[in-house]
Amino acid sequence: MKSFKSSAWILPQPVLILGTFDKNGKANAMNAAWGGQLDMTEIIISLGSHATTDNLAQNPEFTVAFATASTMVASDYVGIVSGRNTPNKMENTGWEVEKAPNVNAPVFKAFPMTLECKVKQMKGERTGGGYLIAEIVNILCDEKYLAEDGKPDVEKMELITFNPVQHTYIQLGKTVGKAFSDGLKLKK
């Protein structure tokens, strides 16, 4: 085995698109890979100092969408450019925006699935930001991406993951097994 120095190499990493409104109700989006599920209805995101962080300080509600192959270029763009110094950031994405039904935050309609979230706490210090803990208050899924049982069909969404080693995005592939089930074959 070859050793590498300590790096942000948890695999695979999500491509989360955080949607916020500024104090004038203008939408902004940013890309975040350092986030995950914390509890049944809670998520945690490691957030630096961004326009998003400023927006959350005055309006602690946001959305989290999951990036897809077709939204990849603009999803990367919102991770490179800041709403702090690029007033036309959202126009450049071409994303259609509407207000989320349950939180004061934007929904970007190009994405199949979106969490509506409320900040519970901002902990610690991360260069002007911190560790954002938020409650998922509702989940929206475009009807196009529902399975026959009425639940979101994740395989249909063409989700992408961030590869922190080569700095690329990789599209998720096919279902290979059933969780909490296939492993039972080895139970003796």
Ligand X SMILES: Cc1cc2nc3c(=O)[nH]c(=O)nc-3n(C[C@H](O)[C@H](O)[C@H](O)COP(=O)(O)O)c2cc1C
- Residue 143 CB, shortest distance to ligand X, in Å, is 29
- Which positions touch ligand X (CB under 6 A)? 28, 30-34, 46-48, 50-52, 76, 79-84, 129, 162
- Residue 34 CB, shortest distance to ligand X, in Å, is 3
Question: Nearest to ligand X by Cβ — which residue?
Answer: 79
Calculate Rg over the CA atoms of the chain.
17
Whichever of 46 and 102 has its CB closer to ligand X, that residue is 46
Whichever of 11 and 184 has its CB closer to ligand X, that residue is 11
- Residue 186 CB, shortest distance to ligand X, in Å, is 35
Whichever of 9 and 182 has its CB closer to ligand X, that residue is 9
Q: Give the pair of three-digit tokens for residue 71.
A: 């939204």
- Residue 78 CB, shortest distance to ligand X, in Å, is 6
Could you give the count of Cα atoms lying within 13 Å of 15 in the half-sphere of its Cβ? 27
- Residue 18 CB, shortest distance to ligand X, in Å, is 7
Do residues 134 and 118 make contact, with C-beta atoms less than 8 angstroms apart?
A: yes
Whichever of 110 and 160 has its CB closer to ligand X, that residue is 160
Whichever of 14 and 112 has its CB closer to ligand X, that residue is 14
- Residue 95 CB, shortest distance to ligand X, in Å, is 14
Tell me which residue has tokens 């991770």. 79
CB atoms within 10 A of CB 130: 18
Burial environment of residue 46 by CB neighbours within 10 A (0 to 12, 13 to 18, 19 or more): middle
CA angle in degrees (0–180, nearest 5) for 97-35-100 = 25
Whichever of 22 and 153 has its CB closer to ligand X, that residue is 22
CA angle in degrees (0–180, nearest 5) for 89-52-67 = 70
